[in-house]
Structure 1
Amino acid sequence: MTQPLFVLVAGPYRGGTGDDPEKIAANHRAIQQACLQLFRAGHLAVNGEDLALPMAELAGSTRVGDAAFDEVFHPMGRRLVARVDAVLRLPGASAGSDEMVALARARGAAVYTGVDEVPAVTR
């Protein structure tokens, strides 16, 4: 592959955490790690969390799952998935990530389930 892909990394954020802040942070970190791996493989990787969370805070969110959070969080992912070349679905239960995969497939975007499946950019 000679051109970088624009990849949305989708994985559990709240899923399986019981909204425990430490577990959520660990999930978020795993998503960010996957973005870094894709970047190192030559791609432009993004995750909805890093874009949505600051906006949710500006919208007045004070906790995960409140109205301001919900106004921004999943809609950000839906808008991103409409623009990306591919979705990398990380393991773990996540209704939101499953939705991103379904939306990607519906528009014919590639869906990968492991960083190693995404072809590296050759220079």
Structure 2
Amino acid sequence: MGPRLVELARSPVGLENLEGSTHEASGENPVCGDRLRFAAHVDEGVLDRLRFRATACPACVAVASCASLVFDGAAWPLTGIEAALQRAVDERGGLTRFEQHALRLVVDVLQRLAAV
């Protein structure tokens, strides 16, 4: 994991409950046990706030933090989730091949969130 992702794992952005959420979605990686839940507040076609809760590895927490940074204030419904998140992760130093599961889980849960 790149150094800027390590920093996000140590000091996550968006790791909190969201009162008054309008959309929620969760997912789990059955192999490693990572669990992730996103909550969003959407108002007038804008994702005001994206927050998450996780019982997960540091890579998953870091990627979920990237999602909060990237998608807070984004147009709703979200589009281009995977490409935008991959770009944000790469800009912060990227993931090793052993950490790619974190990106897949976060993208999966965000796509579920956007479909709600």
Query: With structure 1 as the length reference, what TM-score do the two structures score?
Result: 0.31
The structure carrying a bigger helix percent of its residues is 1
Q: Structure 1 or 2: larger strand share? A: 2
Max radius of gyration: which structure? 1
TM-score (norm 2): 0.32
